Amino acid sequence: MSDEHINEFKFCPNCGSRNIKTKAGTHWTCPDCGYDLYNNDAAAVGLFLVVHGKLLVFRRVKDPQKGKLGLPGGFVNKDESLEEACIRECREEIGITPPVFSYLCSFPNTYPYKTLVYSTCDAFFYAEYKGTEEELLASIKTVDGEAENCQLVPINEFDPNEIAFESMRKAFAVLRKTCTMPL
Ligand SMILES: [Zn+2]
């Protein structure tokens, strides 16, 4: 499926005209009412939470990429900052407020959901948990049913092919290069 055919509208969302056209995959335009809709990326976040050289990951319960390894994170809500989204998603998905985190990197991604394919820009953050591995695992509560089997995986032994999304794989490579913690 080429980009030109993803999320194609049959009717103008403003006037209902059938003449709406996609312009180079970046926006839609309607010649009948002048409606312009830009196909901007949706913002999303992910958190690499590390404790003593191990990364917190979980098995995704839902599609897309059900069964693959995911990170706490998700889409940024309207009127929310990247940081606020990161904190909210951690609370929702693993039941903890993350420790102070830093920006790591960002990569584009695609996220198929029902009949739409979202183009996203995924921003990744990094945090170091100060307690023990046992304390971190004991504090996790997978409250909203999106994550199961939370586990700590040594960063150096981690198989990137297990990671759910391309953006996460690329960000993980950055994490591996820049992580200054004793591994
Ligand atoms: Zn129109």
State the Cα–Cα distance between residues 39 and 56, nearest whole angstrom: 33
Statement: residue 5 has pLDDT above 50? no
58 and 132 both lie in a single domain = yes
Residue 105 and residue 31 in one domain: no
Copy the structure tokens of residue 19.
Answer: 């003449």
Q: Which percentage of the chain shows pLDDT scores above 70?
A: 91
Print the SS3 string covering 29-59.
ECCCCCCEEECCCEEEEEEEEEECCEEEEEE
Contacts of 175 (CB under 8 A, 6+ apart): 48, 55, 104, 124, 126, 155
CATH classification of the domain holding 10: 2.20.25.30
The identity of residue 150, as a single letter, is C
| Cα-to-centroid distance, 8 and ligand 1 (Å) | 14
Residues 8 and 66 placed together within one structural domain of the fold: no
Instruction: Give the CATH number for residue 173.
Output: 3.90.79.10
3-state helix, strand, coil in the chain (%, to 5): 25, 35, 40
Q: How far is the CA of 28 from the centre of ligand 1 (A)?
A: 10
| Domain of 87, in residue numbers | 42-178
Residue 183 falls within a domain, yes or no? no
| pLDDT score at 27 | 87
pLDDT at 182 over 50: no
Q: Residue 21 C-alpha to ligand 1 middle, in angstroms?
A: 10
The per-residue pLDDT for range 41-98, each reduced to its tens digit, is 999 999 999 999 999 998 887 878 888 899 999 999 999 999 999 999 999 989 999 9
Q: Are residues 33 and 115 in the same domain?
A: no
Whether the Cβ atoms of residue 9 and residue 18 lie closer than 8 Å to each other: no
d(CA 5, CA 181): 45
Residues 149, 121 share a domain: yes
Do 30 and 47 belong to one domain? no
Cβ atoms of residues 35 and 20 within 8 Å: yes
Q: What is the pLDDT of residues 117-169, one digit of tens each?
A: 888 999 999 999 999 999 999 998 876 666 678 899 999 888 888 898 999 99
The amino acid that residue 168 corresponds to is M
pLDDT at 4: 43
Q: How far is the CA of 44 from the centre of ligand 1 (A)?
A: 30
Number of domains present in the structure of the chain: 2
